Structure 1
Amino acid sequence: MSDKDVAEDRAANADMRSAFDTSAAGPRPPSEITGHYSSDNPDMVQFVDADGNRLETTEANAPYAQIVEDMTSQDAREIYRDLVLVRRIDAEGHALQRQGELGLWPSLLGQEAAQVGAGRALKPQDYAFPGYREHGVAWCKGVPPENLLGMYRGVNHGGWNSNENNFHLYTIVIGNQMLHATGYAMGVQTDGDVATGDPERDTAVMAFTGDGGTAQGDYNEALVFASVAAAPVVFFVQNNQWAISEPNEKQFTIPPYQRSRGFGIPGVLVDGNDPLATYAVSVAALDRARSGQGPTLIEAYTYRMGAHTTSDDPTKYRSDAEVEIWREKDPIKRMRGFMEERGHAEPDFFDEIDAEADEIAARIRHACQTMPDPPQEAMFDHIYAEPHPVTERERAEFVEYQESFVQEGAH
């Protein structure tokens, strides 16, 4: 690194420390907290503004511009459909929890563009490792939304077979999935499924976490392993600005996309409410991983419009004014504006998608309410790969105990 580069790095770090300074009394306005990530940040990759108007080519988005230009009207319609249906599935999950049908629900409201953009970029052979909010990625990987509801209803052991859709089970331990993803990616290398030149064989891995996850040891350890192994993994950080109830400045002083350089991993900052940008950046990073060029970190700057989960009350720690600022950056509104401006769909198309959303909401509501409870002894299944005498004995004792209640009731 040259003296000039060192000086520029020091200046950038000084600016960041100033932007995240918490020494002043009282909470800072949202405009100051998010200032480093504003739309005029030259590092941020964006293609459409809040109204869907196509933005000019910049130094930041130029490397990804051709990917967007190659997208067809059909691509745009499919992304829009995903955005709308994913939001409706999420809304139904929230409503079902409030009505006592689910034990918990972590909403993705506001983060649809980040998840659909990344999910759409994944190929069938690519493996995704989610946290617990990646309902949009699950949808794009073909996981039935009913399976997500089953997990939060507590009627199954995870909800789906990970290998059927190359979508790992939800990980509740914050940041743990980053190590899982890196290990899997290193296995892909060992199997020789990287840089073969075969587009149906070359495989990448994508790991998803939030801004809070970047403060976990597992996250940082994963970046170390991925970097030194040049593993074919893309780390996708959805920076929704609130790690449960803690803002960015309680999680880091340098943003994740800049911190990645310290691990020897390229970092990209993308507007997480811009579906075109998140798709294009994800396509490029995954292509890079599949071709053997190693890991990339993507920071998608977005916003969690709802609560962290249905057990959370966000009014306790953030202002209504901050939420209203982000309401104007709605990714669905942005995508629809782009499509209308470019003539990618007729008005009837949007009505048809809304009707399909109603249908899927009714379908998953019925499925949720009619899910059978699993046999109680199923808790002993799959503890070990092979039958184990201890668990078999415990199962028999449990079944006998449960049957004793039935026998007592008969008398």
Structure 2
Amino acid sequence: MHSDEETAMQYRTVPKTGDRLSVLGFGAMRLPMKGRAIDEERATALIRAATVGGINYIDTAVPYHMGTSEAFVGRALAGKYREQVKVATKLPPWTTHSRADMDATLAAQCSRLKTHSIDYYLLHSLNRENWDKLLTLGVMNFLDEAEKSGRIKNAGFSFHGDPETFQEIVDARDWVFCQIQYNILDEEHQAGTRGLRYAAKNDLAVMVMEPLRGGMLANTVPPAAQACYDAAPVQRSPATHALRWVMNHPDVTVVLSGMSDEAQLIENLQTAREARPESLTPDEETMMRMARDAWRRAMQIPCTGCGYCMPCPYGVNIPECFNLWNNHSLREQKRGAKTEYAIRLGGGLGDSPGNAGLCRDCGRCKVRCPQQIPIPSALREMQHMYEGPFWGAKKVFISYAAGIATRILAHRAHQGRDK
């Protein structure tokens, strides 16, 4: 027999506001699809079932589902459901070119979400470059004014940069929360454990994205890692093991999962009801470390994301290059890998490129790598695999497509503002 406490949704407290948020959040980025569009009927049923199951934090953003996620969430939560949840969305730096753009974007988001106020509002996907850009454009004044007017209730940011930039951003404002990528493979990547602890030390709620590394930790398990799970005294799926590991951290407030079907929702709800902070036994912690090490051995490059190789004098984002390569090497489905590489590292969205082809074989990184990775030769192999003879054309095409998307989103923002 389980007690009511063990079978009910677990809620954790936002330190600065006292909000009680479900440890499992619903990420509206991987909704059920019908063709190339959101399957409205099934996705609506899924998101409402999540609220019935105790989930009260829904995360969306402008680019999710090609710009349709926010409007869908607004429709799905119409009526009583909106009162039961906290909605989070984000300001996209790549479509923000002025202080006025920030107000226009927020107005359009409120319109799409059918709300007068965004509960949790994030600056989206911050790194060094995006942070500096938004600061220059006056984002601090925007957040102050939006909070004062009630258009947003809690300000935060999501992050995909280095630990030093993360700490700088945390220190820059009295943020309520942040959102970081965190899982058994990313303890030392991006913000990592260091960032998680720093945020908690400063009383920020921490929302975790990619607890399953985009589904990789659930769907493409190396045999050696599966053997670790099989030897555990309690049999659980790889997804459950990975989620429990994140939820075991008391500094984590919400773990976001982009659930795309009913089975995933049911399994994740059960995990959220059972997992408690610091509840993993010593044997379970050892098992997860062994599984993590098995994952790393199976990866193409034994990079931990420590960043000792950085900065590269020629601009290569070495940890992110190897992170993408490892992710792609473990996927059964390789489709879209080169496009993702061009978007993330080729400067296709207007940011500075960090692709492998920028390497000039100076060797500076190689002598600094604690894993003794032959970095220059690995980067040359990546360049051969990902860039090829049509690299320039692919970057131009992505930049052109991003420009069109920017204009469409700007047009929608003005439409939403004028209504």
Q: TM-score scaled to structure 1, two decimals?
A: 0.31
* Structure with larger RCO (C-alpha < 8 A, sep 6+): 1
Q: TM-score scaled to structure 2, two decimals?
A: 0.31
* Higher gyration radius (CA): 1
Q: Which has the higher strand share?
A: 2
